[in-house]
Structure 1
Amino acid sequence: MKKKLTAIFLCVALVAIAIVGASLAYFTDTKSATNTFTVGNVKIDLIESKFHRTGSDNSGDTSLHDPTTKAAGMEFIPDGWTIFTDDEIKNDAKTYATDYLAVKGENMVPGRGVAKCPYVINTGANDAYIRVRVMVPSAANNDFVAVKDGGVITNQWCTTAIKNGEFIDGKGGGWNNAPAIERNVEKDGMKYDVYTFTRIEPLKAGKMTEWNVWNFIGINKDATSADIQKAIDAGAITATGDTVTLNVLVEADAIQAEGFADAAAAWAAFK
C-alpha cells in the first residue's frame, strides 16, 4: 500500500512540473547554511606574588608596602577596600622568584615570614573549576612535627586567627572555607602535608582569582638551633654544605565547569 501511494504522488509531481515548465521560465536561487563550531579549552597559569590582595598585614612580611587602589565592582571583595590590582600582582609575579624570594628566603631566621601568595589565571576559553595544593614537608619524614604551633615550620594555618579563615571564611573569593589536609603524601621521595583549596565557584575565562589561598611561609619564632637540626635530620629541611633548604611546593589543577552540577562532581570525574 505504501509503495502504491508513493507512485501516485510521484506521477502528480511529474505532471505539475510538465505543465509549469511548458509555460514559464524560472528565477532560481540556492541557499546554504554553514555552521561553524570552535573547540574550547581549559588552560590556567599559576603565579606567585609577594602581594596579598589586601596588603602586608596579611602577607607575613610587614616590610612590604601597602596597596593604594580602592576595590570597585569585584565579585568577592567589597567596594572601597584597599587592594593590589590584578595588574600589580601579575607584574610582581614576573620577578617574585628572583627579586623577592631569592633574597628574602635566603639566610632565614626564626620569626621571619616570607610572603608566598599564589593566584590562578584562567587563560583558556572556558569557565573552569580550580583547585590549588600547597605542599609542606611532613612530620612523617621522621618524628619532626613540621606544621604545628611550636614546630619549626610556620605558615598561615598555624595560628587560630588565620586557621579560622582570615580571608577564606565569610569573604572567601569563591573558595571553600578551609583546605582539605592530607598528611604524609609522598612525592619525589619526600613526604608532604598537602593543603588542598577547592574553588567552589567556577573561575570565568580570562579572569584571575581575587583571593590568594596562602599567605606566607617561615621559621617559627620560637624555633631553636636544635629544632632546626632535628628538622634536617628528619629530612623535612635539607642541608648541603652550608646551605639549608626548605622546599614548599604549590600545584594547581583546572577542569571545565560546564557539564558538572558543582565543583565536587567535577573533581570526582577528574583524572
Structure 2
Amino acid sequence: MTRDLRSTQDFYTEVLGWKFRQGSLGDEFCVALDDGRPVAGIAQLTQRLRGTTAWTPYFAVDSADDVAARIRERGATVAVGPLEFGTGRAALASDRDGAVFGLWEGQTLRWAVGRANAPACLELRTRDAFAAAIFYAEIFDWATQRPGGCDVTYEDEQVIVRQDRRIVAALRGGGVEEAPDPHLRPRWHVHFQVRDLPSVISAAVAAGGTVMSPAPQTGRPGGRSMICDPYGALFTVTDAPEND
C-alpha cells in the first residue's frame, strides 16, 4: 500500500528492476513483474483503501469469513472486511501483538513464496514467537495433514514454517530462556532475493530510500539488508536463497 502509486513503481523499477502491469482490481492496483513473472502487488491508498504505507503479506484462504471469525475468537483484530475485490474477497487483520497481515479468498496469480522470482521468505518479528506460531497455526490450519498444510518446526531459536519442504515463513522473538521483548514492535517483513546486493543497496539510496541495517561486506555471500523506501515501507533484500 502506498500514497503515490506512480512514484512507488519508479522506485522499485530502479532498485529491483521490476516492470508493472495493471491488476484486475482496477486502476488503483498494479502487479509487479520480474522477468515476466508476478512477484508482488502495489495499491494506491484511497478513501476506500485506508491504511499505512507498508508491505503486507496476504495469505490465501478457502473462506475469508471463517478465518476472520477464528481471528476474532482468539482476541485479535479484523480491521477491514472481508470485502469483495474483483473476483475475490479480502480482509486486513492484525494478530494479538499488532502485526498486520491480509487474507485473500479467490483466484490467485501463479506466484508462491520461496519459488522462482517471488518473495524469498516472510519473516514475523514479534515478542513471543511460540505464542505467534500457535495463533497462526490455529487460524490458517498450519501443522495439519490437510491439503495446503505446512510443517512447523523450531530451529535456531526461531519457528520455521515450510510448505512442500520450502521455507515460506520464519517467526522470530526472544531466545528460549528469555522473556518476550516488550520494546519490539511486531511486524511482518518481506524478503526479496536479489542477484547483486551491493548494487541494489546503492540504487535504493540513489532513488531516495534509506538503508535501515548495515550493508554487508562486498564479496561475502549470504548477506541481507533492510531498506525503507521513500514512502515508509520496509522490506529486506538478500543475496542468498532463503531455502536450503
TM-score interval for Structure 1 and Structure 2 normalised by the shorter chain? 0.3 to 0.5
Greater RCO, 1 or 2 (C-alpha within 8 Å, sep 6+): 1
Q: Flag the structure with higher strand content.
A: 2
Structure of higher CA gyration radius: 1
Q: Flag the structure with higher helix content.
A: 1
